[in-house]
Structure 1
Amino acid sequence: MRKWWPLAAVCLGTFMFLLDTTVLSVALPGIGAELSAPLSSLQWVANVYTLVLAVLMLPMGSLTDRFGARTVYIAGLAVFGAASLGCGLAPNAGVLIAVRGVQGIGGAALAVTSFALLGAVYRGPDMGRAMGVFGAVTGLAAAAGPVLGGVLTQYLGWRAVFFVNLPLVVATIAVSFRIPAAERRPAPARVDLPGVVAFALCAASLTYALTLAGEDGRPSLPVIGLLVLAALALAAFARIELRASAPLLDVRLFSRASFSAVMMCVVASTAAFAALVYTSVWLQSGLGLGPVRAGLALLPLALASFATSLLSGRRLHGRSPRAVLGTGLLLSGIGCALQAGLDAGSSAGSIAAGLAVAGVGVGLMGPAMGAAVFAALPPERGGMAAGAMTTFRQLGQTLGVAVFGVLFQQGGTASGGLNRVLIAAAGIGLAGAALARVLVPRPVAGEATDAVRRDLTGSR
């Protein structure tokens, strides 16, 4: 039993971290009502968390190498718990957004160290069992999030969505101290701080510009200025990374068409989830559903994703990621398209079939994404490939929420706005599917497995 304590710690932390990305979707209307927050502020409540995750994924890996996975994991739990308390006590939207960003710092630590902890403790068949349980917990968090968020919001208020993290944090920290401490390794190169700052400035400026564009309804001078700032920051980031001795991200990798295509597919894979923010707004503001019923209405996507991940993991092992990823993106796009066409007579049942189809697509994409990324690079770049994948996934969701916010607010009614969002999400999914079928490479036998193994154990 003792050997499974590390798995229990990782699963508890991962469940909590992922729950906070999905549980909030049905709580946003309640937050807006109590704090008198406009839609743009609600976008930032969701966006700042994923934005901080995207910015800190790569540097958090360096901190893990320097201080050890267990230390960073426990520190991340402490930050996450303190920030959750702050979110629950927030007196206004501004404070909530700021503390939600701090919560993203803890979330980034949890996300990056989870795989490293499992890879450091388990080997052989035990690793297979651990990864199976870990995958099931990941799917369970996605499935439970909307319903749990609805129950907590409706019966205890939206603040309970954050307070529920506190006992989970205490329990997870207690279990985490049972994880064996890793052997000390030579300290790696310093964290590329200029690269972190440039990337953060680019991502934040772009997200803010898109959010502001949704408020103004047209291009304005501040929006144009922010877009220019984002472009300059991106150019600075590329220049810094080209000169850095230990870059966060080797930008030369993007000269490979296959790697660029896979990263675009990673971004496209987030479209269906980004659209859920506005589906929840439509369910509650447009249809007048309570948080619990809204959460239940979103359940087809989460359950289909969970079931598909469990059933397809072993059956599709070894299949070409080009085919699996392409099929997942195709189904995601089709599912979003099936939800569109809403009008004044539509009900929650109108989107159920589309949500389920999109959920099957999301479930297929999860396992195939890593194999596709590793197939696009030499085996020795596995660690950087994994870091790039997690970063682009979080950034894609952040930008997706911002872009879809512009479309939603220009739609007139809630149903008209959601139709625009769903059509755009469908187009992104279909475009990603075409890109996957043409440019995503097939892995050489054994290379993807070796790269994954090195990444799990923290080797470079």
Structure 2
Amino acid sequence: MRKWLPLTAVCLGAFMLLVDVTIVTVALPDMATSLHTTFADLQWVLDGYALALAALLLGAGSLADLVGRRKVYLGGLVVFAAASLACGLATGPVALIAFRGLQGVGGAAMFATTMALLSSTYQGRDRGVAFGVWGSVNGAAAAAGPVLGGLLTEHLDWRWIFFVNLPVSVIAIVVTLRYVKESRNPHATGVDLPGLVTFTLAAGAVTYALIRVGENGWGSTTTLGLFALGALSLLAFVLVELRSPRPMLDLGLFRSRTFVGIMLGGLLLSVAAFSYLVYTSLWLQSVRGMGPVTAGLTMLPMSVVAFVTAGVAGKKLHDTPARWTVGGGLLLIGVGALLLTPIGPDSTWTVLVAGLAVTGAGVGLATPAMASAAMAAVPQARAGMAGGALNTSRQLGNALGIAVLGAVFKTGLDHSLPGGIPVAALTGGQAGPMIAHDPALAPAVHTAFASGLQDAFLVSGVLGLLGGLAVLVLVRQPTAQHPAPAPTPAAATRA
């Protein structure tokens, strides 16, 4: 059993960082009430974490190759634990958002090193077993996140969704120190700091612009200025990477149309499948009056179907070309989101079941082949970078998706609400108290939420279908024959 202790240490970290993507979703209404947050604050609680993950994954991987993967993993665990404690103690939205970003820093260090640690620790059949368990743990994290978040929020307090990370982190640190061996890349030369800074600035500026567009407007000086900053930073990133002797991301990888297709697919999968869940949770709890546990259980059809489908697809369809599994999965995700659009003012949670189940089937079908296809599309020496780029695109898709769908949701809400009802109160999770104070507002609030969600589901569906078509057109080669295996159910990485 001792030989599996390194796997235990790695899986504990992976479970925590992936649970923290979804565990917050059902706690947002309670956070909004406790901290008196705005709609933008709620978005940043999720996006701060996702953005830090997306921006730092490739840089963390480079640092780990240079100084040691075990060291970076341990550092990530310590930062993640400290940030979790700070999140739980936060007394205002600004502090919570800042510490969520710090959590993302720790999560990036952990996520960037888990596969490399397993690959260096296990060989042969044991390596296959280790990656299989790791993938299953990822899937369990997705399914457990909303339910665990609901249980902790409803029976203790929303702060416990962060405090629960502390004992798990301590165990992971102890086991890692005792049983995980150090490994590094002897040919590593350094970290691409200019690339890291310009990429982070580009992603942050665009995401901030999208989150603030509801208040500032699309044509405002602030919005246009932020988009311009994002575009200039992205151009600077491209120039830096082209000239760097050790680029964080080798742009030559994008000469492969298959690689481009998989990157687009990964980004749009996160947007179309997961980004609307935060607004769905807001509707279930603040409008339909569900508790956090019940709201979390409502999202299980997606996670359970994704978990089962991924297991079946991984075993039965491993020889099927990736264009069909990934492209077909994205088309299913698009259809699943469109099945959610019949939501109306009188709808209950049952209107979500079919759409979430179909989306879960698409997620489970697309994910097992996605990472292996990305790595197969590039030279073997760049396989690790390709895998990191895919993880980055998915986390970036999650961050941008929350911002884009938030703007769409809020616009639909604005257009449907009669004058006199404060939109900020509804998007801040205060619909329940407002209706309790004045029951006459209930029909208008229910209609407005249904309209906002319809728009968000429609955009998600269209993006899912476009992602599927892009993969079918661009991806031409079969799934990989040699790279490291991918995480099993994508519900887990959400991102």
Query: Normalising to structure 2: TM-score of the pair?
Result: 0.88
For residues 462 and 263 of structure 2, the distance between their equivalents in structure 1, rounded to whole angstroms, comes to 17
What amino acid is aligned across from residue 462 of structure 2 in structure 1?
G
Question: How far apart are residue 217 of structure 1 and its match?
Answer: 4.4
Question: How far apart are residue 182 of structure 1 and its match?
Answer: 2.9
- Native 8 Å contact 1:5 1:178 kept in 2: no
For residues 183 and 104 of structure 1, the distance between their equivalents in structure 2, rounded to whole angstroms, comes to 23
Give me the CA root mean square deviation: 1.4
Q: Which residue of 2 aligns with 1:371?
A: 372
Structure 1 residues 85-104: aligned runs within 5 Å = 85-104=85-104
What amino acid is aligned across from residue 213 of structure 1 in structure 2?
V
1:412-431 residue CA offsets vs partner (Å, 9 max, x unmatched): 22211111111111111111
Question: How far apart are residue 278 of structure 1 and its match?
Answer: 1.1
Q: Which residue of 2 aligns with 1:457?
A: none
What amino acid is aligned across from residue 216 of structure 1 in structure 2?
N
What amino acid is aligned across from residue 141 of structure 2 in structure 1?
A
For residues 142 and 436 of structure 1, the distance between their equivalents in structure 2, rounded to whole angstroms, comes to 25
* Change in CA separation of 1:175 and 1:323 when aligned onto 2, cut-off 3 Å: same
Establish whether residue 287 from structure 1 lines up as the match of residue 319 from structure 2.
Answer: no
Question: How far apart are residue 185 of structure 1 and its match?
Answer: 5.2
Question: How far apart are residue 297 of structure 1 and its match?
Answer: 0.9
* Change in CA separation of 1:392 and 1:58 when aligned onto 2, cut-off 3 Å: same
1:357-407 residue CA offsets vs partner (Å, 9 max, x unmatched): 101111111111112212322333212211111111110110000000100
Establish whether residue 389 from structure 1 lines up as the match of residue 390 from structure 2.
Answer: yes
What amino acid is aligned across from residue 452 of structure 1 in structure 2?
A
* Change in CA separation of 1:359 and 1:213 when aligned onto 2, cut-off 3 Å: same
Q: Which residue of 1 aligns with 2:106?
A: 106
Question: How far apart are residue 439 of structure 1 and its match?
Answer: 1.1
Q: Which residue of 1 aligns with 2:143?
A: 143
- Native 8 Å contact 2:260 2:474 kept in 1: no
Q: Which residue of 2 aligns with 1:433?
A: 468
Question: How far apart are residue 54 of structure 1 and its match?
Answer: 0.5
Q: Which residue of 2 aligns with 1:263?
A: 263
What amino acid is aligned across from residue 154 of structure 1 in structure 2?
E
For residues 32 and 184 of structure 1, the distance between their equivalents in structure 2, rounded to whole angstroms, comes to 43
Q: Which moved more, 1:397-406 or 1:337-346?
A: 337-346
- Native 8 Å contact 1:375 1:441 kept in 2: no
1:147-180 residue CA offsets vs partner (Å, 9 max, x unmatched): 1111111111110110110111011111112334
- Native 8 Å contact 1:262 1:376 kept in 2: no
Q: Which residue of 2 aligns with 1:278?
A: 279
Q: Which residue of 1 aligns with 2:433?
A: none
Unmatched segments (≥5 aa) in structure 1:
454-460
What amino acid is aligned across from residue 483 of structure 2 in structure 1?
A
For residues 114 and 452 of structure 2, the distance between their equivalents in structure 1, rounded to whole angstroms, comes to 38
For residues 76 and 143 of structure 1, the distance between their equivalents in structure 2, rounded to whole angstroms, comes to 24
Structure 1 residues 349-428: aligned runs within 5 Å = 349-412=350-413, 413-428=448-463
Counterpart of 1:450 (choices 482, 485, 489) is 482
Secondary structure, aligned partner of 2:311: helix
* Change in CA separation of 1:398 and 1:290 when aligned onto 2, cut-off 3 Å: same
Q: Which residue of 2 aligns with 1:319?
A: 320
Query: Normalising to structure 1: TM-score of the pair?
Result: 0.95
Q: Percent same amino acid among aligned pairs?
A: 48
Structure 1 residues 236-247: aligned runs within 5 Å = 236-247=236-247
* Change in CA separation of 1:377 and 1:299 when aligned onto 2, cut-off 3 Å: same
Establish whether residue 45 from structure 1 lines up as the match of residue 77 from structure 2.
Answer: no
Q: Which residue of 1 aligns with 2:348?
A: 347
Question: How far apart are residue 216 of structure 1 and its match?
Answer: 3.2
Secondary structure, aligned partner of 2:484: helix
* Change in CA separation of 1:414 and 1:118 when aligned onto 2, cut-off 3 Å: same
Question: How far apart are residue 12 of structure 1 and its match?
Answer: 1.1
* Change in CA separation of 1:421 and 1:7 when aligned onto 2, cut-off 3 Å: same
For residues 70 and 384 of structure 1, the distance between their equivalents in structure 2, rounded to whole angstroms, comes to 19
